[in-house]
Structure 1
Amino acid sequence: MTDAFSSNSEAVINRTVNVSTTTTDYQAGSLAERYEITETCRFVTINNFKKVALQFPDDLLSDAIQISAEVEKETNAKTFILGDTSYGSCCVDEVAAEHVRADCIVHYGPSCLSPCRRLPLLYVFGKRPTDVQQCAAAFKELYSDCESHVIILYDVTYSHAIGDLRQLLCEIYPNVVVSLLKVDHSHGAKLIHDSLVADDQLDSQDDRVIFTFGRQFSIQEGLRIDDYSMFYIGQEGLTLTNFMMTWNRCSFSSFDPITCTGRVESININKALMKRYYAVERAKDASVVGIMVGTLGVANYLTIIDQLKDIIHKAGKKSYMFAMGKINVPKLANFLEIDVYVLVACPENSLLDSSEFYRPVVTPFEMELACNKHRDWTGEYVTDFRDLLPGGSSHVGFPEPNQSNNEEETTDVSLITGALRTTNFTTSSEIIDGTLQSTSLVPRNETLTVANTNTAASYLAGRSWQGLEPKLGRTPVVKAVKGRRGIAIAYEEEGLGNRDSSTTPHQQS
């Protein structure tokens, strides 16, 4: 049980990453091809960038120094390696790049392709090996009917092989649609397209063109996306789960490039959706909601936070905002007052499995389902919070309360506790500057005696542990003195003391 709440701090401090600053000719050539060093240097040189932030996931850090040295050798830029990102490594860490005042970011490895707004950006996915012939053979085995309507999706690290796969399949399967990677170029984001067909330009204004999660494809006229099957190239993980939850009415199959095997995905989508609906019911029962910031790089994350605050307050609930970096069980266990958390993150990191957490963690879409009575559960699932904003494809306005009757107070039955649940929708006149004015003080009797109800202070007073004792007026005021030196697990003074105490008189002599 103690392992769940603590880790070996000494092991973390002593952990090392084996890297080498020297490369052979073979290694240099392999790295240049795998990490697109020539194209990266061209991107830096053409735009005359002087400070370049190179962001790596943990599994690619071993190559970071060699890539950084190659980029600095070919350009006049100074590079900075961003290793430990504040949140998921699939998101661009613009905040860390701004700490070093970088002019641009080069993001390496898998990416969720969420739009960013602050700095020019270049995606370098790398080239994970895959056998295109084996992939085509697995596709033909899974889809024996040549008239099948199939959309091919893939992990971004296999995008270099999609052009060859297209040539092998499209002549045999006329109804196969191959998705293309696309990013928002209006703020300087760029992709390195290798073998993708350059003349596949789709009109984004066409209703048949679907652009989501950095993928763009077009469906045939008269068909819906539910009429297609999905074929995914990549390993099982967050990307595939995100696709399956979003297009949950489509059948999925996949090809694993590592094992070179294809299979029909057998995940029970209905069961997964019911688990998410259980979280929605927990959110409906909650009275105190914690809004967790799970990204600082995805565009419009502040807008969705403001929208969540607004609908939570209008639904008669309290909200508190938390920015705690990477989420784990011990961090959230510190706040027992919170009934449910809502995580604002990129689409791939929003679907957090909170079965080990002491409070459920829901997505912004699920929080809206709990608070907005105009949004019904239809089986549609939204993981991209930008679709919930005004102008988004899944935006539903919050109902305006009617002052002439009591429509703002609704009663239903909790599917978890079985008790009656009353929701008091707050009118706009009760909200000033985004805060509730009538929940801290309420009339107690005819003499208008008032009292605090359900505030954070009352929660803190009831805690068994309240933090350090202030001891106001009992602590003498002293001048600043020189503190300890070293790290918390082994201060220098403690080390000397330990050595002295462990030395016997016989050893000293």
Structure 2
Amino acid sequence: MSDAFSSSSETVIQRVVEAAVKTNTPLDKLEELYQIKKTCAFISEHQFEKVALQFPDELLVDSVAVAVEIERNSNAKPYILGDTSYGSCCVDEVAAEHVGADCIVHYGSACLSPSKRLPLMYVFEKRAVDLEKCTSAFRELYPDTQSHIIVLYDVNYVHAISDLLTLLSPEYPNLVVSELVVEGEQCFSHDWIKGKHDDATEQDNSQVICQFGRKFFLKSGLSITDYSVFYIGQEGVTLRNFMMTWNRCSFCSFDPIKMTGRTESVSINRALMKRYYAIERAKDANVVGILVGTLGVADYLSIIQQLKETIKAAGKKSYMFAMGKLNVPKLANFLEIDIFVLIACPENSLLDSSEFYKPVVTPFEMEVACNKKREWSEEYVTDFRHLLPGRQSHVPLSDQPEEDDETDVSLITGALRSKNLLNSEPAVSSFGSSVVLRNQTLTVATNSAASFLSERSWRGLEQKLGETPVVKAAEGRRGIAIAYEEEGTSS
């Protein structure tokens, strides 16, 4: 679709908007794609009366037909949820509670982040996979049949993994296939792939990895760095999240749409260095904006509180913002913020902020910048829940008081950077009654947003109630700002 904006003389701006168009699924295929019978059985078994059906934008075209079939085959009243505020991969419990829903049925791609408020059922798309070409690509990428390989996949291809395992297991004895799991007792999707692990096998494994809704078992004596990863799905946030987390593993992938396999050539070290640059920007920042990008992922309130304490301990100020889908104009409204930290699910937290005026970092990166005891290493944490007390990546704040004159050097600006600028208490100078900071290496800085706003030449629209005269509406200019019609053309 294209829209043209033109003046009276010629077209000066042309904008092309790409929109994915999906046709309605025939009624005879609705059952296969959306598991309507299983959904109705789930509703009837628990006697739910109000059911929230959450669809991503690309599946909304079938939402009405699915809702009609569910209402016809059960006693429940369905409500369609669309335009999820923070990300369609997350369960939108807030929107479901607005309609008083008893449960949620989530359709399409999912990050499998745990939710705790409402009972939940996942229904994935059954996207087609050519198993013959997939196994052929697998053999080409891994000619050594003794290789240790972990198979990961997009949730929409879970239906084909059992058949793939049957074809490859006899040939590759060290193949490990992940299974889908969701923490908590509120999820009732029981038809997922289950790995061929009996109790004896599970006891023989020295390490069990359970992360991002995936669970797999490593052989005794081996760590995840001894494995290669084969991913089934398109290039996107899911694969990028895996590669950032397990950045010491080699990755290969098979794209079921293009039906081709490849070795992932994106330099993960380069990506990590870009994130390290963002950490240096976070160290330089004085005012931090905490962006709440989820209201459904478990423990998001706990990480907000922990971030506030960590930022305060580092001598920085923080402000919290709750907004929907992020874009450049939204964040550009807050010029007093030096850096933003986004609280979201693992797949949405790695936001590319190259177009934003101020960087957007993850909670892990902000902790590296603010917590002296947490050091930058090969570990990279995208799931903020792992940073909380009692979790595997938690690092408590130092109990020792900061040194008054402790400073370091910014790797970006080359200037001295104090870690106690805002924590320093004013002291009376022996040369007079003027108030100065203990740290004499830096001048006094104003870091509050209110002080920043007071120095602006323009502070927003003023209401001036009762002062503005009432006038009749007048015809405005026509055209675009670069060439209004009444202005004519310049010579």
Match of 1:501 in 2: none
Match of 2:240 in 1: 241
Question: In structure 1, what is the Cα distance between the partners aligned to 2:405 and 2:123?
Answer: 52
Matched, 1:414 2:402: no
1:422 CA drift (Å): 1.4
Indicate how the Cα distance of structure 1 residues 205 and 330 shifts in structure 2: closer, same or farther if over 3 A, else same.
Answer: farther
Indicate how the Cα distance of structure 1 residues 295 and 315 shifts in structure 2: closer, same or farther if over 3 A, else same.
Answer: same
**1:119-142, Cα deviation, whole Å (9 max, x unpaired):** 000011120111112111111111
**1:235-263, Cα deviation, whole Å (9 max, x unpaired):** 00000000000000000000000111100
Indicate how the Cα distance of structure 1 residues 227 and 17 shifts in structure 2: closer, same or farther if over 3 A, else same.
Answer: closer
Equivalent position amino acid for 2:380 in 1: Y
Contact 1:18 1:62 in 2 (8 A): yes
Runs of 4+ in 1 over 6 A off after TM superposition: 15-20, 448-452
Equivalences for residues 87-486 of structure 1 within 5 A: 87-186=86-185, 188-193=186-191, 196=194, 207-402=206-401, 407=403, 409-424=405-420, 442=426, 446-447=432-433, 453-471=446-464, 475=467
1:471 CA drift (Å): 3.8
Indicate how the Cα distance of structure 1 residues 409 and 80 shifts in structure 2: closer, same or farther if over 3 A, else same.
Answer: farther
Question: In structure 1, what is the Cα distance between the partners aligned to 2:268 and 2:435?
Answer: 53
Equivalent position amino acid for 1:50 in 2: E
1:375 CA drift (Å): 0.8
Equivalent position amino acid for 1:469 in 2: E
Contact 1:286 1:339 in 2 (8 A): yes
Question: In structure 1, what is the Cα distance between the partners aligned to 2:37 and 2:309?
Answer: 48
Q: What SS does the aligned partner of 1:395 have?
A: coil
1:197 CA drift (Å): 5.3
Equivalent position amino acid for 2:331 in 1: L
1:459 CA drift (Å): 1.0
**1:203-244, Cα deviation, whole Å (9 max, x unpaired):** 699751110000000000001100000000000000000000
> TM-score by structure 2 length?
0.85
Q: What SS does the aligned partner of 2:242 have?
A: helix
Match of 2:488 in 1: none
Question: In structure 2, what is the Cα distance between the partners aligned to 1:444 and 1:341?
Answer: 35
Question: In structure 2, what is the Cα distance between the partners aligned to 1:57 and 1:50?
Answer: 23
Contact 1:314 1:425 in 2 (8 A): no
Indicate how the Cα distance of structure 1 residues 452 and 257 shifts in structure 2: closer, same or farther if over 3 A, else same.
Answer: closer
Q: Can you give the 5+ residue segments of structure 1 that lack an aligned partner in the other structure?
A: 4-10, 431-437, 477-492, 496-509
1:357 CA drift (Å): 0.2
Q: Can you give the 5+ residue segments of structure 2 that lack an aligned partner in the other structure?
A: 5-14, 437-443, 476-491
Q: What SS does the aligned partner of 1:374 have?
A: coil
Q: What SS does the aligned partner of 1:190 have?
A: coil
Equivalences for residues 3-82 of structure 1 within 5 A: 27-82=26-81
CA RMSD, Structure 1 to Structure 2 (Å): 2.9
Question: In structure 2, what is the Cα distance between the partners aligned to 1:408 and 1:372?
Answer: 17
Question: In structure 2, what is the Cα distance between the partners aligned to 1:112 and 1:398?
Answer: 30
Question: In structure 2, what is the Cα distance between the partners aligned to 1:145 and 1:233?
Answer: 19
Indicate how the Cα distance of structure 1 residues 419 and 156 shifts in structure 2: closer, same or farther if over 3 A, else same.
Answer: same
Contact 1:365 1:383 in 2 (8 A): yes
> TM-score by structure 1 length?
0.82
Question: In structure 2, what is the Cα distance between the partners aligned to 1:246 and 1:204?
Answer: 26
Indicate how the Cα distance of structure 1 residues 79 and 162 shifts in structure 2: closer, same or farther if over 3 A, else same.
Answer: same
Equivalent position amino acid for 1:466 in 2: R
Contact 1:410 1:423 in 2 (8 A): yes
Question: In structure 2, what is the Cα distance between the partners aligned to 1:150 and 1:409?
Answer: 51
Question: In structure 2, what is the Cα distance between the partners aligned to 1:124 and 1:256?
Answer: 21
Question: In structure 1, what is the Cα distance between the partners aligned to 2:294 and 2:303?
Answer: 12
Contact 2:350 2:362 in 1 (8 A): yes
Indicate how the Cα distance of structure 1 residues 377 and 179 shifts in structure 2: closer, same or farther if over 3 A, else same.
Answer: same
Equivalent position amino acid for 1:386 in 2: R
1:192 CA drift (Å): 4.2
Question: In structure 2, what is the Cα distance between the partners aligned to 1:125 and 1:334?
Answer: 38
Count of residue correspondences: 448
1:444 CA drift (Å): 7.4
Question: In structure 2, what is the Cα distance between the partners aligned to 1:97 and 1:19?
Answer: 27
Equivalent position amino acid for 1:298 in 2: V
**Of 417-426 and 47-56, the range deviating more from structure 2:** 417-426
Question: In structure 1, what is the Cα distance between the partners aligned to 2:119 and 2:77?
Answer: 16
Q: What SS does the aligned partner of 1:191 have?
A: coil
Indicate how the Cα distance of structure 1 residues 142 and 198 shifts in structure 2: closer, same or farther if over 3 A, else same.
Answer: closer
Question: In structure 2, what is the Cα distance between the partners aligned to 1:275 and 1:345?
Answer: 19
Indicate how the Cα distance of structure 1 residues 142 and 352 shifts in structure 2: closer, same or farther if over 3 A, else same.
Answer: same
Match of 2:484 in 1: none
Contact 1:408 1:425 in 2 (8 A): no
